[in-house]
Chain A
Amino acid sequence: MIVEANTVRFDAIALDSGATLAPVDVAYETYGELNAAKTNAILVLHAFSGDAHAAGISAEGGKPGWWDNMIGPHKAFDTNKYFVICTNVLGGCRGTTGPGSINPATGCPYAMSFPVITIGDMVRLQKMLIDWFGIDRLLTVSGGSMGGMQALEWAVSYPERVVSAIPIATTTRHSAQQIAFNEVGRQAIMADLDWSEGNYHGKQPPARGLSVARMVGHITYMSDDSMREKFGRRLRGKENFSFGFDVDFEVESYLRYRGSQFVNRFDANSYLYITKAMDYFDLSNGHASLAAALEKTTARFLVISFSSDWLYPSYQSQELVRALRARNRDVAYVELQSNYGHDSFLVDVAEQTDLVRGFLANTFEKAQ
């Protein structure tokens, strides 16, 4: 399945900060066919560094999508049955307007003049696209990590527009630890002299800073077990220590490789803006409690967490589920056993597939 990204331009979007962004582009891909009644649409939401390319092989890069193992014919999100949409988030760097986009007022990239955005803003832009499609209600909104935050935001902000939500390996708000890791990433970028207060366009980008930020990120996405299994203390292409600071260990080589790869596909300023949006996210903002924030929700929920995920630990999903139960909402929850840490939702999908497939089939049937 070869897929192409599309882009739609809207005149403007009002942001939570009070600023307005005009115009605004949103990049998206779709898989499967929208039925005549428009009742089979699913919005999948990408995590921090993802993009609109969720499934199939991209016409542009020839690469499979980030959730290709979950989306496609006969997969969890069965494209023979459902119409799946994925967008690149606001503030991103893969087709949707972000700090790397050209500010029409100046003819230069926004860089740090880009307004600070929130998860709520990301979802507002997605809603504009769903309106543009003429879709009244989404069968489900689903994603892992930051994608899960967007799914929750959808259920709270536009309850009448979502039949169900499947937030995976996520939280209703970032903890101090989660904010702390993001801040390390941001500081690594901003400490790189090439960052130049964000004005590196047309020059050398802050590759070292961005690379270090990504290395830290990758550590948080894995588990102690999965790292031990994958790397252990194995040396990289040598029998003995180098007694220097070149790569000795496999794990060093891996992190450096992932860091340098990331630089080629991600914008450093987008890193700053999107991590900030995650840190600001708190579903209970403006409400007396989390349960009060969920008062307006009408969606059916399937909440999934993973046993070895220490970045978004199960207790955070359980807090969400307990608050939903306090409002007597329809919620299913399970913690899946997996060794892959936070990455589990992307790589360990066999059980996740059974859950999502069954939940969706039942939800679709009830909604008809």
Chain B
Amino acid sequence: MKKAGFVGELLGRSDYAIIGEIVEPNTKVLDLGCGEGELLEWLASNKGVEARGVELAGAKVRKAIARGVSVFQCDMDQGLADYPDLAFDYVILSQTLQETQQPRKVLREMLRVGRRAIVAFPNFGHWKVRMSMMFSGRAPRTDLFPYEWYESPNIHILTVQDFEALAALEGLTIERRYFLAGHRKVGMLPNLLAEVAVFLVKRG
């Protein structure tokens, strides 16, 4: 029996474990920034989903295709533009929203091509980030945000509250929300205590 509040790992990641739980069997899934396609492969073989991926790095695309996952090499904006409306049941964006040029547009596009969006991101409101900033007086560096400001891919950092505010602004319904610190689910004060947030949202 697992401890209450404990979240296991899927392919070494807790957010994947949650995504793996959210996705209903036999659905159509698009994973943006799918890397080497491990999650999609898992969803295809364990949940019978029809899996597609978008990834920019050629070496990762090659590995994904070689494991039998249909991945398309291009950037995120282009990756979504071609698809017809509501082509997917879920569009997944895992740990990448903060790296996009236009996160709001990406979110809109996700919910144009998909009935639901699953967004996982590192929470910039976590207390370690705040402490780091307060005591060092420099751009914060933590386990979750390990980069020097001039090397960081994270160009649109956000907190749990930031995401919820954007969801409200966009008129989205948050169907489920999960907050994680390591392998534990965070109940109270997620904006302060969650390292990673996973949201399931839909239009209207």
- Interface presence of A333 (CB below 8 A): yes
Q: Give the interface SS of chain B, mostly helix, strand, loop or mixed.
A: mixed
Q: Is the CB of B67 within 8 A of A334?
A: no
Whether A326 contacts B84 in the complex (CB less than 8 A), given A334-B61, A334-B62, A354-B62, comes out as yes
CB contacts under 8 Å to B, within A225-284, are none
Contact (A358, B67) CB under 8 Å given A328-B83, A334-B61, A334-B62:
yes
B175 within 8 A of A: no
- Residue numbers in B under 8 Å from A322 (CB-CB): 82
Q: Any chain A CB within 8 A of the CB of B110?
A: no
B62 touches A351 (CB 8 A): yes
Q: Please tell me if B66 contacts chain A, counting CB pairs below 8 Å.
A: yes
Asked if A302 and B58 make an inter-chain contact with CB atoms under 8 angstroms apart, the answer reads: no
Task: Let me know if B65 and A328 touch, CB within 8 A.
Answer: no
- Partner of B65 from A321, A334, A337, A365 at Cβ < 8 Å: A334
* Interface residue from A332, A358, A359, A365 paired with B72 (Cβ < 8 Å): A332
- 1/0 per position for B62-82, CB-CB distance to A under 8 A? 101111111111100000001
Partner of A359, one of B50, B52, B58, B68: B68
- Determine whether B144 belongs to the interface, using a CB cutoff of 8 Å to chain A: no
What size tier do the contact residues of chain B reach?
Answer: 20 to 34
Bound: A365/B44 CA distance, A: 13
Contacting B at CB under 8 A, from A307-331, are 318, 321-322, 325-328, 330-331
Q: Are A358 and B65 in contact (CB under 8 A)?
A: yes
Q: Is the interface of A mostly helix, strand, loop or mixed?
A: helix
Q: Which chain B residues lie closer than 8 Å to A326 at the CB level? A: 82-84
Q: A354-B66, A358-B66 are in contact. Are A334 and B58 (CB under 8 A)?
A: yes
Q: Considering the complex, give the chain A residue whose CB is closest to the CB of B67.
A: A358
Task: Tell me, in angstroms, the Cα distance from A321 to B54 when the chains sit together.
Answer: 12
Docked pose: A206 CA to B70 CA in angstroms: 48
Q: What A residues does B62 contact at CB under 8 A?
A: 334, 336, 351, 354-355
**Residues of the B chain whose Cβ atoms lie less than 8 Å from the Cβ of A328:** 83-84, 87
Whether the pair B70, A332 counts as a contact (CB closer than 8 A) is yes
Residues of A near B74 (CB, < 8 A) are: 318, 333
Least CB distance from A205 to B in Å reads: 44
Measured CB to CB, the residues of B under 8 A from A are 50, 52, 58, 61-62, 64-74, 82-84, 87
Besides the known contacts A327-B84, A334-B62, 20 further A-B residue pairs in the complex with CB atoms under 8 A apart: A302-B65, A322-B82, A325-B72, A325-B82, A328-B87, A330-B50, A331-B72, A332-B69, A333-B61, A336-B58, A336-B62, A351-B62, A354-B66, A355-B66, A358-B65, A358-B67, A359-B65, A359-B68, A362-B68, A365-B68
14 pairs of residues in contact across A and B, judged by CB atoms under 8 Å: A326-B84, A330-B70, A332-B69, A332-B71, A332-B72, A334-B62, A334-B73, A335-B58, A335-B73, A336-B62, A355-B65, A358-B65, A362-B68, A363-B68
